[in-house]
Amino acid sequence: MRTLIAGGGIGGLTAALSLHAAGFSQVQVLEAASQIRQVGVGVNLPPHAVRELTELGLGDALAQVGIPTSELAYYDRRGQLIWSEVRGKAAGYRWPQYSIHRGKLQQLLYDAVKARLGPQAVLTDRRGTGMQAAAGKGVGAGVAAAAAALQVQVRNHAGDTFEHSADLLVAADGIRSVLRQAVMPAQGLATNGWMMYRGITPGAPFLSGTSMVIIGDEHLRVVVYPIEPGVNNWLLVRPVDGDAGELGNWNREMDPAQVAAHVADWRFDWLDVPALIAGSEKAWLYPMADFDPIPQWVFGRLALLGDAAHAMYPFGSNGASQAILDARVLAWALARQGKGDAATDAAIDAGLAAYEAERRPVASAVQLANRRQAGDVMARISALVRQDAHGAAKDELKAVEAQYKKLAGFDAETLNQRASWSVEAP
Ligand SMILES: Cc1cc2nc3c(=O)[nH]c(=O)nc-3n(C[C@H](O)[C@H](O)[C@H](O)COP(=O)(O)OP(=O)(O)OC[C@H]3O[C@@H](n4cnc5c(N)ncnc54)[C@H](O)[C@@H]3O)c2cc1C
């Protein structure tokens, strides 16, 4: 089985490692960027994602670049604690939770892919632009899972075009996936009218030194967590002023001092928020964007994965994590058909159907839960806090977090006991 993965982000690279570990040797990643660079700011990986990377043999490497998150705490605008809970191993998980620089995580995965699958396993400056079933039928909604292999069209920055053959194309090309758009042209991105501003700042540890804090309310909030010793990652969320601009573009910059002005008086004895934000070299703005859960992830031999399948608001630390889970389940579902590289057409089709059946309901539920968390839940908690009902707000948050962990696949008991998605290579 020849697999092409379009997109060398966290989802695509984890898919390459997972397929390789499960016994598939003909796997190649096509990445649109000219080189893999350490871009982005922080991501948080709860224990369900860390488990999967650990089972891929990356536990030690992760421990070297991530900060084990020990606590999640909610504070009001005055810096008063609403509720906190322990996280990671201290909360009874068999695996830690990590806060990590997104670019370092991507680099770690990229290095592992090159080391295990060979230097040619990732081709950069290769943008997937479309695909066709080799039999000439095309690939789209409603096309039966035909036995024919695919021809995948690819372009580089110079405008040269290439064709690659594959038995399976994994679309891991992110929130603005052109491959998803090819099969679901009506599935556009939408914003909830909120803008996120993000940055990283060198600075002293705060609170436990490994805390993740959410400060504020439904109108204005700030999330802060360390991603390296002496480096804090921050995110400020507020309603968009005017036009949100381009959705799904992670690379728009702005002046951190302008962001800090929104929280000029948020100076607490445990953290000076405006100084933290103003201390960044750069800030990036990103309109909160997602799309409705989609009814189909597998279109013949095209399988959507990661943000291409389920872009979600980054509230709940699950964007990258759900992509990692997709990757592991895809490899597990295909490998369980038992044929490895010699997978028959029927085995590939059955594996893809099992992948979608296992992952789509979970990831769709997380998409919707993230909308609720960012919207209704914050509004309810904030209303309680404004009435000085901190006790009720605390109970509510505790219940919401417990429910969220269950639906996203990381309540401690279930995760600790769930069978592994590792498959012995045939
Ligand atoms: C530049 C960038 C910065 C980000 N910064 C943050 C951040 O700071 N914090 C955060 O929480 N999340 C960030 N994210 C998003 C986060 O990484 C994803 O939500 C999550 O990891 C899901 O991963 P993914 O692999 O599905 O998608 P992505 O991580 O978006 O990866 C998609 C990859 O596909 C490539 N690509 C796109 N189109 C094509 C194509 N047609 N053919 C081939 N390759 C293609 C992209 O260059 C990218 O490398 C960022 C994403 C990007 C691309």
Rounded to whole angstroms, how far apart are CA atoms 177 and 307?
Answer: 8
Tell me the residue range of the domain where 22 lies: 3-67+102-188+292-375
Contact 248/215 with Cβ under 8 angstroms? Answer: no
Q: How far is the CA of 123 from the centre of ligand 1 (A)?
A: 16
Name the least confident of 222-231, 300-309, 399-408.
Answer: 399-408
The answer to whether residue 130 sits within a structural domain is yes
Q: Is the pLDDT assigned to residue 147 strictly greater than 60? A: no
The answer to whether residue 171 sits within a structural domain is yes
The set of residues, in sequence order, having a beta carbon less than 8 Å from that of 62 and lying 6+ positions away, is 45, 50, 53, 54, 98, 100, 105, 108
Name the least confident of 293-302, 334-343, 368-377.
Answer: 368-377
The answer to whether residue 317 sits within a structural domain is yes
Q: How would residue 123 be classed by pLDDT, with cut points 50, 70 and 90?
A: very high
Provide the b/e sequence for 259-274 (b: ≥16 CB within 10 Å): bbebbeebeeeebebb
Q: How far is the CA of 334 from the centre of ligand 1 (A)?
A: 24
pLDDT in tens, 47-98: 999 999 999 999 999 999 999 999 999 999 999 999 999 999 999 999 999 9
Rounded to whole angstroms, how far apart are CA atoms 136 and 152?
Answer: 12
Q: Counting atoms of ligand 1 from 1, which one is nearest the CA of 13? A: 25
Rounded to whole angstroms, how far apart are CA atoms 282 and 270?
Answer: 24
Predicted local confidence at residue 144, as pLDDT: 40
Q: Is the pLDDT assigned to residue 387 strictly greater than 90? A: no
CA-based nearest residue to 84, from 258, 201, 215: 215
Rounded to whole angstroms, how far apart are CA atoms 362 and 411?
Answer: 14
Tokens 């969320």, residue?
A: 237
Q: Is the pLDDT assigned to residue 348 strictly greater than 70? A: yes
Predicted local confidence at residue 143, as pLDDT: 42
Predicted local confidence at residue 11, as pLDDT: 98
Contact 202/279 with Cβ under 8 angstroms? Answer: yes
Q: Is the pLDDT assigned to residue 138 strictly greater than 90? A: no
Q: For the chain, give the number of residues.
A: 426
Please write down the HEC assignment for all residues of the chain.
Answer: CCEEEECCCHHHHHHHHHHHHCCCCCEEEECCCCCCCCCCCEEEECHHHHHHHHHCCCHHHHHHHCEECCEEEEECCCCCEEEEEECHHHHCCCCCCEEEEHHHHHHHHHHHHHHHHCHHHEECCCEEEEEEECCCCCCCCCCCCCCCCEEEEEECCCCCEEEEEECEEEECCCCCCHHHHHHCCCCCCEEEEEEEEEEEEECCCCCCCCEEEEEECCCCEEEEEEEECCEEEEEEEEECCCCCCCCCCCCEEECHHHHHHHHCCCECCCCEHHHHHHCCCCEEEEEEEECCCCCCCEECCEEECCHHHHCCCCCCCCHHHHHHHHHHHHHHHHHCCCCHHHCCHHHHHHHHHHHHHHHHHHHHHHHHHHHHHHHHHHHHHHHHHHCCCHHHHHHHHHHHHHHHHHHHCCCHHHHHHCCCCCCCCC
pLDDT in tens, 227-278: 999 999 999 999 988 888 888 888 899 999 999 999 999 999 999 999 999 9
Cα angle 195, 200, 202; round to 5? 150
Q: How would residue 340 be classed by pLDDT, with cut points 50, 70 and 90?
A: confident
Predicted local confidence at residue 146, as pLDDT: 43
The answer to whether residue 273 sits within a structural domain is no
The answer to whether residue 239 sits within a structural domain is no
**Hey, what are 348's tokens?**
């590939």
**Hey, what are 96's tokens?**
């830690």
Cross-strand bridge partners of residue 100: 43
- Pocket test of ligand 1: the residue of 18, 101, 102 to mutate, having most ligand atoms within 8 Å of its CB, is 102
The answer to whether residue 77 sits within a structural domain is no
The answer to whether residue 408 sits within a structural domain is no
The answer to whether residue 240 sits within a structural domain is no
**Mean predicted confidence (pLDDT) in 150-157:** 93
* Ligand 1 neighbours by CB, cut-off 6 Å: 6-12, 30-33, 39-41, 43, 102, 127-128, 172-174, 178, 198, 250, 306-308, 314, 319-320, 323
Q: How far is the CA of 257 from the centre of ligand 1 (A)?
A: 27
Bridge-based pairing of strands 122-123 and 190-202 is: unpaired
Q: How far is the CA of 103 from the centre of ligand 1 (A)?
A: 10
Q: How far is the CA of 249 from the centre of ligand 1 (A)?
A: 10
Count how many domains the chain has: 1
Mean pLDDT of the chain: 91
Predicted local confidence at residue 145, as pLDDT: 41
Q: Is the pLDDT assigned to residue 137 strictly greater than 50? A: no
The set of residues, in sequence order, having a beta carbon less than 8 Å from that of 403 and lying 6+ positions away, is none
Predicted local confidence at residue 136, as pLDDT: 42
Q: How far is the CA of 10 from the centre of ligand 1 (A)?
A: 7
Q: Find the CATH number of the domain harbouring 134.
A: 3.50.50.60
* Ligand 1, atom 21, residue with closest C-alpha: 320
Q: Counting atoms of ligand 1 from 1, which one is nearest the CA of 41? A: 8
Rounded to whole angstroms, how far apart are CA atoms 347 and 338?
Answer: 8
Tokens 């995948």, residue?
A: 152
